[in-house]
Amino acid sequence: MNTKGWIIYNGNLPGTKFLDYAQMLETEALKNNSKVIIYKNNELLSLLTTNNLSLIPDKELPDYVIFTDKDIYLARQLELLGIPVFNRAQSIETSDDKIATYQQLALQNLPIPETVIAPKIFAEGEIERSVTTSIINRLGLPMIIKEAFGSFGEQVYLIHTEEELEKKINELQGIPFLFQRFIEESAGIDLRLQVVGDQVVAAMKRQSNNDFRANVTSGGTMEPYHPTEQEKTLAVQAVKAIGADFAGVDLLLGSGQSRFVCEVNSNAHIRNLYDCTSVNAAEFIIDYVLKQIQNKGN
């Protein structure tokens, strides 16, 4: 079946890695006789009128869209126009919000580091001392603070003392964030598993010797990793918990063989994974998407 698709990435972010991801998908789509066009998100404007939802400029709509951006409103506009979007807007929205992600993971009884959601603070407000004392008593020190929105390991902080905690809380006035138990066994180490559909297609172990975060963009190293069946099952369950079709899942290492879900990234870049494992996740993503489109047409 010959199909036409769009691949959408963010046109306002610096660097080439966002376009690179789109081009990896494009290459695999063309191999499968699916004609695709890459668009920046700012090349497709959502138009709303009394009688119509459409795009500016007006275009012939594709059979599917692979959405590698976080422009949730554009993704939802495309869905409202009847186009199958991978991943769906709701999945991207949940993944982009760490608080919402942990809520869905907890709802499915999946293992996560113990987490406390910070009460909403408006600018110039503050959390009462009794609340911070309660959080320390519950989670201990050191602990992790994470802003609800952030990428590449940024907006994540390791807090060692009550003074650091109060200072960081004051800095985050007006920003949604959470407190989390620090998994000491996994300091500077995590596992990235790439899930597509019901399978883990590749995995790598990331490690940093000078940072509690293992992200490669923060200076961490990577090596191929062969996940256990338990880890594979957990990663697939985590992706399904946020309703995604594919995602990168970061697991933390607890004591013994225990594992905790740290993050589910619906827009995980796959270049580092390919460089590390020689597995091109784009092949699996395109195969999955085209099979979904074919099954929908039957």
Identify whether the C-beta of residue 238 lies closer than 8 Å to the C-beta of residue 249: yes
Residue 119 preceded by cis peptide, ω within 30: no
How do residues 192-209 score in pLDDT, each as one tens digit? 999 999 999 999 999 998
**Percent composition of the chain: helix, strand, coil (DSSP 3-state, to 5):** 35, 30, 35
Q: Which amino acid is at 39?
A: Y
pLDDT (mean) for 75-102: 98
| Mean pLDDT on 164-191 | 93
* Model confidence at 216: pLDDT above 80: no
Token couple for 48: 């709303």
pLDDT (tens digit per residue) in 128-148: 778 889 999 999 999 999 999
Cα–Cα nearest to 183, from 83, 81, 91, 258: 258
The answer to whether 281 and 289 are in contact (CB under 8 A) is no
Number of Cβ atoms within 10 Å of the Cβ of 90: 15
What was the pLDDT predicted at 125? 62
Residues 218-236 have a mean pLDDT of 93
Q: How far apart are the first and last CA of the chain?
A: 11
Pairwise CA distance, residues 261 & 249, whole Å: 7
Write the CATH number of the domain with boundaries 115-182. 3.30.1490.20
CATH number of this structure's domain 3-86, picked from the four choices 3.40.50.20, 3.40.50.300, 3.60.10.10, 3.30.70.141: 3.40.50.20
Q: What pLDDT does residue 143 have?
A: 98
Q: What is the mean pLDDT of residues 24-50?
A: 97
Q: Do domains 3-86 and 115-182 have the same CATH topology?
A: no
Structure tokens at 140: 């201990």
**pLDDT score of 217:** 66
pLDDT in tens, 243-297: 999 999 999 999 999 999 999 999 999 999 999 999 999 999 999 999 999 987 6
The dotted CATH code for 93-111+185-267 is: 3.30.470.20
For the chain, what are the domain ranges? 3-86, 93-111+185-267, 115-182
Asked whether the predicted pLDDT for residue 36 surpasses 80, the reply is yes
Single pTM value for the model: 0.94
Mean pLDDT, residues 95-104: 98
The confidence score (pLDDT) of residue 295 equals: 85
How is 50-78 classified by DSSP, letter by letter?
Answer: TTEEEEES-----SEEEE-S--HHHHHHH
Closest CA to 11 of 47, 48, 38, 46: 38
